[in-house]
Structure 1
Amino acid sequence: MKIVSFHRDTPFTEILSDLKTKVLTKTERLPWRCYDDLSCLCVKEKIFEQHEELFRRYKAMVEENITVNVHAEGQDEIPWGVRYVGAQRLWRKGRGAGVKVAVIDTGISRDHFDLKDQIKGGIQLVRGKQNGHGTHVAGIIVAEMNQRGIVGVSPEAHLYDVRAFDHEGKSSLSTILQALQWSIANKMDVINMSFGMPQYSEAMARAVGRAHQQGIVLVASAGNGGGEAEYPARYDGVLGVSAIDQTGKLASFSARGKGVNMKAPGVDILSTWPGNQFKKLNGTSMAAPHVAGLKALEIGRKRKKA
């Protein structure tokens, strides 16, 4: 399409009459769109090329039919992991609205623009400087649909920041027990546990068992040592998650075997990072929140049907 603008001092009706006589044929009845009050024509490319000399005889200004964009902020990027687990298809039946998801981790950046409206509460069991692990996990689950940044698996779920780990990613068994107790008392629907330990703990087994009895969905990363899964992934009532890459292949670092119930994306995972930033990380820590987000979507769908 060409945009042809004639000089305003030239009688447009006369130009149009002349063009109709010389251009219109039985096979080409609508070669242009006419704007009388602007002295302009939008002419089909083929017609303009055939009669270019005629159009230019009127000393017209000829322009390309360029693309014009709205001044929108953009669109949320949907990371490959969110696409892989089929979240976009599931959003047609709900986006996890109001489902309470606790992230027991290193703390969440509460001022991140993709998370701040989703964070509804939590508890700080550890003080001091944070690292970005918890923020990254949180974004995979609930990063908001706001036409900025990324979008998480369940972007309308309610996020609860249960900080139990210090800036080095370390915690204690007693602090984890407190975190689980708080999550149970505050009636969480889903608990994400992207952490692990090699040895069995009777106390933690009882804590996750109680949470499971209360109907809470517990999701845990299997571990990054490449061998057998760690605890709490191996406890009964916990969904242990290993990591896969974009081809669906189990990542070389991922734990496997007993205790692994599911596999989810855990390689080159883009998510939220402190300072309103985004970062790619690898790990079963990234795989578990994909499953936590899917469970939030499932719970949301069931509630809508009830």
Structure 2
Amino acid sequence: MKIISFHRKTPFRDILEDLQAHVTEQKERQVWRCFDDLSCLCVTEQIYQRHKAHFSRYPATVEEDVIVSVHSEEEIPWGVRYVGAERLWRRGKGTGVKIAVIDTGISRDHFELKDQIKGGINFVTGRQNGHGTHVAGIIVAEMNQRGIVGVSPEAHLYDVRAFGEDGKSSLGTILRAINWSIENKMDIINMSFGMPQYSEALARAVERANKQGIIMVASAGNNGGEVEYPARYKGVVGVSAIDQNGKLADFSSRGKGANTKAPGVDILSTWPGNQFKTLNGTSMAAPHVTGLKALELSRSKRRKQQV
């Protein structure tokens, strides 16, 4: 595209009439967009080259239709700031740490996530909802001067889809998801889900993951009462939700099994369709801790490599 700005002292209407007559002679329809008050025309490159000699009859400045960008920087959500991620980034951003997100599935084409998602598996079919995408963004939203940034923006994420669009799964499917994470040598498993009752089978799956050195992080629950499973199991980091004042959220489960607290109120993160959305829940708190664990693990791995 070419933008032609004619000399202000040349009557623009006269130029348009002359050009219109020329185009009519060429048996073409009008092929430009004009800005009368600016004495400017926009024409395609093809049309400009075809009528270049005629355009040049008038004093004018010819410019390319260049790309213009807004002055924007990515937003660091309050939760990411609260957990001190910015300070920790000086020593690394989670590079190479493998994180399995067992959830409702992740929007793999989201511009904040697509380069961070390194694989995964679907244990359920059908449409996704946005829960898993929101969790993923809190952990690894890319540092790309757009949108937001996650706690560990250079970690490697694995999309382990075990929940349907309705946000429900079965115990058997969860066991398969954990087993896949073990077999594929994940470093961390994020589990933003829970159930009120104890399960011996799930306890054994958690124990097996722990023996393989996998860090397991789970949301405490949103019932305002007792912590749910798997957060309540020994060897799992159970996470309650706090607000921007550091106060435990009314909805957050608490007590035995709640090993730590993290931001879980008004949390902005990624959403399907290259969008962003604000949500509340311990599901949002857990990935903040997962991201911190990734930063810690990445530093540890780097130190071992340097020895």
Q: How does 1:220-299 map to 2 (within 5 A)?
A: 220-299=218-297
Task: Kindly provide the CA deviation profile for residues 39-97 of structure 1, in whole angstroms up to 9, marking residues without a partner as x.
Answer: xxxxxxxxxxxxxxxxxxxxxxxxxxxxxxx9566211000000000000000000000
In terms of Rg, which structure is larger? 1
Quote the residue 1:95 is aligned against. Answer: 93
- For structure 1, the residue ranges without an aligned partner over 5 or more in a row are 1-69
Question: What is the DSSP-based 3-state SS (H/G/I as helix, E as strand, rest coil) of the residue aligned with 1:159?
Answer: strand
Quote the residue 1:165 is aligned against. Answer: 163
Q: In the alignment, is residue 182 of structure 1 matched against residue 180 of structure 2? A: yes
Contact 1:107 1:163 survives alignment (8 Å): yes
The residue identity in structure 1 corresponding to 2:256 is K
Instruction: Give the whole-Å Cα distance in 1 for the aligned partners of 2:108 and 2:265.
Output: 25
Instruction: Give the whole-Å Cα distance in 2 for the aligned partners of 1:205 and 1:220.
Output: 13
- Scaled by the length of structure 2, what TM-score is found? 0.76
The residue identity in structure 2 corresponding to 1:209 is E
The residue identity in structure 1 corresponding to 2:111 is F
The runs of 4+ residues in structure 1 deviating greater than 2 Å are: 70-74
Shift of residue 304 of structure 1?
1.2
Shift of residue 294 of structure 1?
0.2
- For structure 2, the residue ranges without an aligned partner over 5 or more in a row are 1-67
Instruction: Give the whole-Å Cα distance in 2 for the aligned partners of 1:114 and 1:229.
Output: 32
The residue identity in structure 2 corresponding to 1:158 is H
Question: What is the DSSP-based 3-state SS (H/G/I as helix, E as strand, rest coil) of the residue aligned with 2:259?
Answer: strand
Q: How does 1:63-212 map to 2 (within 5 A)?
A: 71=69, 74-212=72-210
Instruction: Give the whole-Å Cα distance in 1 for the aligned partners of 2:298 and 2:70.
Output: 30
Shift of residue 303 of structure 1?
1.1
Quote the residue 2:32 is aligned against. Answer: none
The residue identity in structure 1 corresponding to 2:182 is I
Instruction: Give the whole-Å Cα distance in 2 for the aligned partners of 1:304 and 1:162.
Output: 26
The residue identity in structure 1 corresponding to 2:133 is T
Instruction: Give the whole-Å Cα distance in 2 for the aligned partners of 1:302 and 1:236.
Output: 23
Contact 1:73 1:147 survives alignment (8 Å): no
Instruction: Give the whole-Å Cα distance in 2 for the aligned partners of 1:76 and 1:184.
Output: 34
**Percent of counterpart pairs with the same letter?**
79
Instruction: Give the whole-Å Cα distance in 2 for the aligned partners of 1:212 and 1:228.
Output: 23
Contact 1:99 1:296 survives alignment (8 Å): yes
Report the RMSD for the aligned CA atoms in angstroms. Answer: 0.9
- Scaled by the length of structure 1, what TM-score is found? 0.77
Contact 1:264 1:288 survives alignment (8 Å): yes
